[in-house]
A = this chain, B = another copy of it.
Amino acid sequence: MQAATRNVPIEAAMNAIANPRRRQILRLVWDAERSAGEIAATVDDVSWPAVSQNLRLLKDSGLITERRQGTRRYYRADRRALGPLEVVLRQMWMHDLGRLRDLAEQEARSRKKRGD
């Protein structure tokens, strides 16, 4: 029996890339495999657990793969899984730099408001 073209439920994939932070992470592991730590260090305006949770969601939705080696976990995008969303994703990346800056500012504001 021939393996079916693994087609990740598009609903899950859509949900996954609807979030700017996850798009940012996905971009980091698009061309190269990276450890969770590298990723978390790069995305430095958010805590490690936050990154870890987003990695988990990306993995569950099938958009990235995980490889464990020793105490490290390496992640990498699974481009096949994107299907027609790849084009969309590329378009969104063009808008995201500014978007992420906004997010950071907003975060800083609410932090200040509640007096951290």
Binding site for B on A (CB under 8 A): 9-11, 14-15, 17-18, 83-85, 87-88, 91-92, 95, 99
Contacts and interface: CB of A to CB of B under 8 A. Distances in A.
Q: In terms of DSSP, what is the predominant structure of the interface of chain A? A: helix
Nearest to A7: B91
B18 A88 contact: no
B10 A92 contact: yes
Given A9-B95, A14-B18, 12 more contacts: A10-B92, A10-B95, A11-B92, A14-B17, A14-B88, A14-B92, A83-B91, A84-B84, A84-B87, A84-B88, A84-B91, A85-B88
A99 B18 contact: no
| Nearest 4 interchain pairs by C-beta | A84-B87, A84-B88, A18-B18, A10-B91
Nearest to A13: B88
Contacts of A15: 18
Nearest to A96: B11
A9 B99 CA distance: 12
